[in-house]
Each structure stands twice: as structure tokens, then as C-alpha cells.
Structure 1
Amino acid sequence: MPYKSIRNSIILCHILLLLAVIFQPGRARASADIVNPKQIYSYSVMQRDIEKLAAAYPDLVSVQTLGKTAYGRELWAVKLGRGESVLFLNGSHHAREWMTTALLMKMIDTYAGSYYLDKPIGSYDIREILDRVSIWVVPMVNPDGVTLSQQGTAGLPKQTAALLNRYNRGSNNYTRWKANMQGLDLNRQYPANWSTMRNAVNYPNYQNYRGIKPAQAPEVKMMMDFTHTIDPDITISYHSSGGIIFWHYHTLAANLARDREIASSLARLTGYSLVRPEKNPSGGGYKDWFIQEFGRPGFTVEIGNYAGEANLPLSAFGQIWAENRQVPLYTASQTYKLWLKRQSVQALNQPMSLFAQAPVYPGAGASASVSVIAPQDVLVLARKGDWYRIKTGSGAGWIHPAPGQLGIVEQIDTDADIKQAAALRKYPDAFAPKVAVVSQKKVKVTGRLGTWLQVDAGEAKWWIDGREAVLRQPAEMKETDSTGEGASAAPESAEPVSPAPEMTPAPSPAPGQSPGASGAGITAQMSASVRSWSR
């Protein structure tokens, strides 16, 4: 073979091998490379990345809007995780601090990819954490201000540009802009000692204007309402700059040791310094309001070296990421402990099905198990949070099943037509181990739990996602059985799978989740929210 042909064959083989690696099944879905934080991270880039994340991780990431700013931009909230307890992170209260948005989006991307691949981050088991905790993130609290800080007044009406120039003290340097586009400093707008706040100005300004009343800014009102809705046990507000952590605001004596311990751990993780508690702190910030309103731990984390009235340089991101990569994971573990402590025991006395082997513990929240129970029908005596007290042959004990491992199966006897090849799983959950793939057009269905269908696979009963099948009505089964056409396409009157009347009492979506807000469903919503000025 000529040298040129051999060389071309080798090149072709390399290309085919590269394509095989790139297009491995599930690889694109589970690669943490959607978010590129090493760029000027704008509102429109954030929207695009949010949409991609929701589409790539549909069973883990969902999105909702909290409302619109005065300039018509949506305040987006992203939910990552499947637990009932809630950690709330937010960034870019201040316009020039937009690197905090990039940091939060990188966290969502990295954690979601690790969850799908079932890979730990450091010593943290991502599956375990995100099965217990839902991390809600508002990555950009101040989208109008961020856009102004990044691109100035270009494209704005002359009157608006002139007004903003006056708020900016006649300067064309909008990279220093901190407020929203009404000249309100959003982190001086919360009702926590608002009237006695220090270091505030009394007129619209590029920074430090507290407004004429608390929650005057729609962004602040939306943040307060949303916080009450999701009821988080811990919050972290990301700001820049200085490498310091604020953790105290008129904290009750009973909570002082608890909050100081968490803050000290955050300081060790990041290398940042803790700010000493003040006898008369200024107030007005989100962290201040949260601690005052909920009596729970709230933190303000100032990333990066002190940059003055400027945004942090892009070159600083790598170090900031290394310092903060594990912060939400540690904080989520503390969130879960605080949440479980608040839960009361509820009596159930209800038969349920346990679909996977489970360790048995002496109490809810215990760290060491005393035995293991095999999959079987159990009597659930009580529930505390996402722990269940069950009766076993050797007595009573507590189990902590992952999503989909415990539930009430509705017994049915019908057939289902498979729309396409569907995965058979050990229990009714998208992340349950896959047993096989069903390729035939018709399967026998013996039970239903939510939108999942229990399939008779001969030697065992496994589960398929009901969204991939269409249930047949009894009359249709008789007709197809008599004609011998049981494997034909689904008849027009076949019903799509809908949730069973009696659902599992296992953990429900976190409060505040908007139905249908995950995946590509936000495309139209996002497109409608983009204004000509936000590019």
C-alpha cells in the first residue's frame, strides 16, 4: 500500500477513535464542561448555560423564574438535588461582583456532572448529599446592574444613559458600578436595622444607596419571598472581594457556638478570615436579614483578593474555584443535620415495598448501622424527615432509603406499548442500577408507582420509566389478544402513564419547585425574557 494511503488510513482511525470517545453514551450528559467561567460572564451567557444544564441533567436540575426586574430581566433560580432539606446560595447582589455568578454556575455544572457519573468530590459523596439536600441557587440577583457594569450605557435611550451617568458621578467607568439600574444598593435594602445603617448614601448612586424604604427594589422583595418559600436551613451570599467571611448578626446566644463552628470550618476550607462579631453591626444585607428572620446560620463569603471598586480579574478564578469548590458540599452536610433535627416523628403504620437492600439503624440520623435488610414488603411504623422506622423479624429499626427505594405499589394487570428501547431498572428511579434494555414493543405491567411501571420480566419484576410507554386499556387488551396482534403499535385510545392515586410518601420535591420548569421547557420562557439590550 502506498505511504500516502497508509498515512490516510492511520489518520482516519485516529478520527474514528476520537469520535468514539467523544460520543460515548451518556458522556455529554455527564461532563462538567457546560459552564466556562473564564470569560466576562454575562446575563445572556448565564441564561444559555442554565438552559443547557437543565436539558443535560433533567432528573437533577430544574429552573424557575422569581419574577422580572424593572428592565424586564428574569431573576432565575436553579434547583440542584432531590432532597427535602434546602441550602440556598446566591451571588451578584452587587453588579461589579459578577464573578460570583460564574462561581455558582461552575458549582452547579460540576456537582451535576459528578452526580451522573457517581464520582465523589474530595471526601464528599455527591449522590448521598444531593439525595438528601436540594441546593437552590440564584446565581445573579442583580442582572440589570451586572449588564450595566459589563457593557456600560451603550444601546440605552439618551435620557436613561444621562440619568445613569449622573448616578455614576459623571464617570464613564461602569466597571465599578455596584447598584441596580435604579441606583439602589441591593445589599442595603433588607429590613435588618435598615434605618440605622452605616456607610449609606441618601440618593441614587453607583453604590451604597439604601433607598427610601426596605425592599423597595423588586429584586430584594423577590429574594425575601423566595427565601420564605424554600425555607432553607443555611444560606450563603457570595460577594467580592477580600477573602473574608461574615457570619454573625445579633446572633442569639443559643446559636452562637453552632454558627461559629460552621463559620470556622468554612474558613479552614477556603483559607479566608472570619470577621469578628460587632456589638452594633450595620445591617441591611441579605445575610443579616436571614439570621434575624429565621434564627439560622447565614454567611457572606467575600471571594478573591481585595480589588477595591472594581471587578476581580479573570485570572483570579482558578484560585477562587480551588478555595470554594467544596464549600457548598460541606455546608449541605450541615444543612441536612439542622433540617433533620427540626423534623418531628410522624406515625404511619403503613405497609410499603422496599426495593433495595438497606442498612438498619438504631435511630433516625444514626451514623452506624446494626444490621441489613433485604428487599421485601415492610410495615413502616413512623417517619422522621426522610428516615423510616420499620418493623422487622428481629424488632424495629430505622432505614434511610435513597429516592425510589421505598414506596407503595399500586397493583395493576395490563400491557404497555414501549415507544422505544427502554431501560429496566432495579427500582423506580432514574438513577437506579440498570438491569437490561427492553426492545420489544409490548411488556406485561403488574404495578405502578408514580410515573414508573413495574414490569414482569419472568424471573423478576423490574421497573421502566412510564414516560417511555403507553398503558393499554383492558378492552384494548382483549381485542389485541383475540387478533394475536399484541405487539402492534399502541391504539389511539391507549392512555399515557399518569401518577397513581396513592403515591409514595418518600421525599417530595423541594418547596418552591415550579412544575414543568426543568429541561428544554424553559426555552420559550427564556427567549421571551431576553431584551435587545441584554447581549
Structure 2
Amino acid sequence: MPYKSIHYSVILCHIFLLFLFIFQPGRAQAQANIVNPKQVYSYSIMQRDIERLAAAYPDLVSVQTLGKTAYGRELWAVKLGRGESVLFLNGSHHAREWMTTTLLMKIFDTYAQSYYLDKPIGPYDVREILNHVSIWIVPMVNPDGVTLSQQGTAGLPKEATALLNRYNRGSANFTRWKANMQGLDLNRQYPANWSMMKNAVHYPNYQNYSGIKPVQAPEVKMMMDFTYKMDPDITVSYHSSGGIIFWHYHTLAANLVRDREIASSLARLTGYSLVRPEKNPSGGGYKDWFIQEFERPGFTIEIGNYAGEGSLPLSAFGNIWAENRQVPLYTASQAYKLWLKRQSVQILNQKMSLLTETPVYPGAGAATSSSVIASQEVLTLARKGDWYRIKTGSGAGWIHPAPGHLGIVEEIDADADIKQATALRKYPDAFAPKVAFLSQQSVKVTGRLGTWLRVASGEGKWWIDGREAVLRWPVKSTGTDNAKEGPSAAPENAEPDSPAPEMTPAASPVPVQPLGASAEGISVR
């Protein structure tokens, strides 16, 4: 082969490998905008977009159905984030208020992109927040009602059409429709002062019918069951319209300052007005039930200018987005603080592997680090929430590991066959920095953590996603000496919340890149 041909072949080969290294299919790459807010946002469009988002961001997003409505539509819930603390957002309790679904899906799309690109939104570090908080979203609580409001009775049997027309006061125009398709107002169905509700009608209607008993609507039962399961620290229910925020419902005196401060911050973020607390509030809404049942902050945010008995125009979305795009990031940060405050200290006295350079803090929840510690084996003295108190030869302190930072590595001796082009990563996480690239080949495996494999390559030991390799048996265990520490490991007078002794000074702090997605089932932080 002529010299030039060889030269060009080598160049093309390097370009191809570089392409694979940067654009690994389906792994930690941000996608273009998926949600289009410049349309009437229907249930079928939402389902399609949820499917696309889950496929585009498999390391960050998960989806589940809470069950089906009376007309067979799924009540979808999506999770964005990787933390133990939870913020819960929901929209479209009321059918004509479907723009709240558009807003929540746009938030979902934008935050996922920002996480993958490691880009902030305003003053908020999206990746840092979503590493420690999971935002659960039910974007359309009332899919039957939304479909009726947007599309009318097309396709329904004559009997159902006639019944719905009667509920709609004889009108075949359903754009004002607020209830579900049984004529129940879902936000008047929660067991919070239900029997004393104001301005309720007592028959199936396009709006304001509270039913014959609370939790009569299956959508409400599913929402309550899911809330108990999630145990969120803050909830935000999006409604329209009016540009106002409801934040109080028989709120305990001990919680007034806390909840008012968060509500005031939301008012500043959005420009919306706070609704004054009432002596005898009506009740029956999701926010009312949540505050009453959990004694935690719950908010109803009414987006857009007042629209009467109608939907907001598509032209309103731009302003609504600008007003609300930071709201879930702020509330997520507040939810995390409340969650951490509720956690108790657990004594561990266990050796673990710190797998990347990590800041050290004087206490759990501290805002400013006091030092930086290199990757090494550490003794974890205690845990509070997702913070760990560690001891090394240099002293003790608290760390706040993101996914892939800290874990118990199983030491093994094995070989693995790389099935496809694979990145070597600094630690076991899909968002950890890439240090090299491997094509199909056999490698020596020295450790295992969840589905991740530690491999020897060149002069270093790096991590690969074990789903992209095949271990060859037998796999020999060489011991897990860092899994447990004997009785002598417990330091004398090891009080978990005591100030940390001095460690390596952090006069020139080493920037620590926030981490991303752990594969499902990996027991690492």
C-alpha cells in the first residue's frame, strides 16, 4: 500500500475512534429538545415524549405507571434525578389547565439536557442538585379530562356523549371542561375538610363537583398512594390561572416561618402574589391534604394571567416558562435540606473505597469544604442521610459523595471480553470523566462494584460498564478486606457530629466535577 494511503487510513481510523469516544450511542449524551411547547399538548403527545426522554436519558430518567383511569389511560409518573430526597411536582388536576403539563414536560426535558451537559440553570448547579434529589413528576393527573377538553367527545359511544353533554350543561363545546370524565373535580376530592368545602356542586358537572365521598375518583386514590410511597419533603401542584401561589392550609404554628420563607422565595422567583392565609380555608385540594397529612411544605402555583373558564393561550407559554424554569431547582434544594434535617446519624465503622478526589467538610450539610482528600481507602465512621464521616491517616471529616464516589469494591481476579467500543472511566459512573478508550479486546479485571468492573489498562486501573463486557469464568475472589473493620477500628470518643480535625489544607481547592448516572442496582453513592 502506498505511503499516502497508509497515512490517510491511520487518520481516518483515529477520527472514527474519536467519534466513538465522544458519541457513544445511548450513554450519557444530551439530546436535542424533545418537548415542543408550541402546540396543544395532548395525552398522546405526552406519552410519546416520555418514551423518547426515557430512551434518550437512560442513566437519569425512570418511568412508571400509577394505574389506569376509568377510560383506560395510564397515569404516568416520571423520575428525574438520583438522590434519596424527593420533590414531587404534578399538573393538570383540572382538564382545561393542560398547559401545566406542557410546563412540567419542558422542565423535565430541559433539566435532563442540563444534567448531561453539566450546564447550570441560573444560579443552580443542575447536576449537583439532581445527584442528591429525585424530582418525581406526574405531568397529567387528569388524562381523561384533558383529552375531553382538547378533543371533545369524538370517538365516544352515543350514550357517553349524551351523558357528558348533560354534565356540560347541554354544551358540545368542552374547552371549559375542568373535571374528569365522571364529572368529578379531582382537586375537590382529597380528604382535607372535604365535607365543609365551599362553592361545591352536588351533581356531576364540568367543574366543582366534589363527589359523594372523598377519594371517590381513582386518579385521586393513585395520587395519594404514590405520595405515601415517595414520602416527598415538598410538593408543588401546578394549576392555571391567575399568577398566584397558595401555600397555607391549617399550617402548624411551628411550621409557619419555614413555609412562609419558601413561599416568599417562590413569589420572588415567579413574580406571582402570595395568597393570604384564611381562617377557614375551603380544602379538598392536593396541597391541602399534603400539608395536613405530612406537615411539610406544599404549594399550589397558578400560572399565567387569569383566563376565566378557559385554557391559557399558547402565546402565554414563553412568559410562563421564564417565570417558572428555576422553581423546581429552588424547591429541590429546599427539599434536600428538610430531608437531611430529618435523618439520624448511623454508626458504621466500615472500610470503604473513596474512588475519586473529594472535598471534606466540617459537618454534615456544611456549605463550605475545609479540605480535599485524594482517592484512597477510608474508614467510614458514620452516615447521616447521604453524608459520610470518614477517618484517614490525616484526620476525620464529612464527605458528600455523588454516585460513583464511594463504595465497597469486591477484589477479584478475572478476564473480560469487551463486546463493543467502551470508555475507560475514572470511577464507576456513566458520567465519570473518560480517561481512555477501548475497542473490542480482552482485559484483566481486578475489582467489581455493582455492574461496574475495574480493569487494568496501561499504567492505571480504570472502570468500565460491565454491561458492555462479558466476564470469563471462573472469577476468583481475592478478598474484600475493605468491607469490614474489626473492633479496634472504632476510634475513641468518635462522636459523629463533632468538628473534624485538620486535614490537607484546601487553600487552592481542587474542583470536583459533579457526577452522573449510576446504573440501576449499583450500591454506590
TM-score normalized by the length of structure 2: 0.86
**Partner residue, 1:366:** 366
Unaligned runs of 5+ in 2: 1-18, 477-482, 485-514
Please name the residue that 1:275 is paired with: 275
1:342 is aligned to 342
The Cα shift of 1:273 comes to 0.2
Q: 2:23 — aligned with what?
A: 25
- Tell me the equivalent position of 1:177: 177
The residue that corresponds to 1:490 in the other structure is: none
Q: Which amino acid aligns with 2:407?
A: G
Summarize deviations over 1:215-255 as a string: whole Å, max 9, x none: 10000000000000000000000000000000000000000
Does residue 75 of the first structure (1) align with residue 75 of the second (2)?
yes
Determine the C-alpha separation between the residues in 2 that align with 1:26 and 1:302.
41
Query: Deviation of residue 306 (structure 1)?
Result: 0.1
For 1:211 and 1:313, the matched residues in 2 are separated by 30
Separation of aligned partners in 1, 2:348 and 2:23: 42
Measure, in 2, the Cα distance between the counterparts of 1:242 and 1:276: 15
1: distance between equivalents of 2:320 and 2:434? 38
Partner of 1:124, secondary structure, is coil
Q: Deviations over 1:336-389 (max 9, x none)?
A: 100000000001100000011111111100111111110000000000011000
Cα distance change of structure 1 residues 25 and 326 upon mapping to structure 2, 3 Å threshold: same
Structure 1 stretches of 4+ moved >4 Å: 26-29
One-letter amino acid matched to 1:78? V
- Partner in structure 1 of residue 13 of structure 2: none
Alignment of 1:408-447 (within 5 A): 408-447=408-447
CA distance, structure 1, for counterparts of residue 161 and residue 224 of structure 2: 30
Match of 2:16 in 1: none
Distance across 1 between alignment mates of 2:114 and 2:58 = 14
Residue type of the partner of 2:92?
S
Map of 2:216 onto structure 1: 216
The equivalent of 2:155 in structure 1 is 155
Following the alignment from structure 2 to structure 1, what is the Cα–Cα distance between the partners of residues 456 and 394?
Answer: 31
Quick one: percent identity of the two aligned structures? Answer: 83
| Residue in 2 that maps onto 1:318 | 318
Q: What are the Cα deviations for residues 17-75 of structure 1, in whole angstroms up to 9, with x where unaligned? A: xxxx9xx8379941351000110100000000000000000000110000000000000
Specify the SS of the correspondent of 2:397. Answer: strand
Deviation at 1:396, TM superposition (A): 1.4
1:474 deviates by 2.4
CA distance in 2, matches of 1:465, 1:61: 18
Tell me, what secondary structure is at the counterpart of 2:160?
A: helix
Change (3 A) 1:514 1:140: farther
Contact 1:64 1:514 in 2 (8 A): no
Separation (CA, whole Å) in 1 of partners of 2:306 and 2:190:
24
Distance 1:32 1:265, change over 3 A: farther
Match of 2:62 in 1: 62
Unmatched tracts of structure 1, length 5 or more = 1-20, 478-501, 516-535
Q: Which shows bigger deviation, 192-201 or 392-401?
A: 392-401
Determine if the alignment matches structure 1 residue 328 to structure 2 residue 358: no
Q: 1:66 to 1:217 in 2, by over 3 A?
A: same
Q: How far 1:401 moved relative to its partner?
A: 1.0
SS in 2 for 1:365: coil
Contact 1:63/1:514, CA 8 A, preserved across alignment: no
Q: Tell me, yes or no, if the aligned pair for 2:31 and 2:56 is still in contact at 8 Å.
A: no
Is it true that 1:455 corresponds to 2:455 in the alignment? yes
Q: Distance in 1 between matches of 2:421 and 2:52?
A: 25
Letter matched to residue 201 of structure 1: V
> Is 1:301 paired with 2:298?
no
CA distance in 2, matches of 1:334, 1:37: 28
Deviations 1:133-192 (A, max 9, x none): 000000000000000000000110000000000000001220000000000000000000
Given residue 97 of structure 1, which amino acid in structure 2 is its aligned partner? E
Structure with more relative contact order (C-alpha pairs < 8 Å, separation 6 or more): 1
2:470 match: secondary structure = strand
- Per the alignment, residue 8 of structure 1 pairs with none
| Cα pair 1:453 1:466 within 8 Å, conserved | yes
Write out aligned runs for 1:88-487 (5 A): 88-474=88-474
CA-based RMSD of the aligned residues comes to: 2.1
Amino acid at match of 1:258: R
Secondary structure of the residue aligned to 1:334 is helix
Q: CA deviation at 1:410?
A: 0.5
Amino acid paired to 1:344: S
Structure 1 length as normaliser, TM-score? Answer: 0.84
Structure 2 residue matching 1:436: 3-state secondary structure: strand
- Per the alignment, in what secondary structure is the counterpart of residue 401 of structure 1? coil
Quick one: which amino acid aligns to residue 25 of structure 1? F
Pair 1:26–1:471, CA change in 2 (3 A): closer
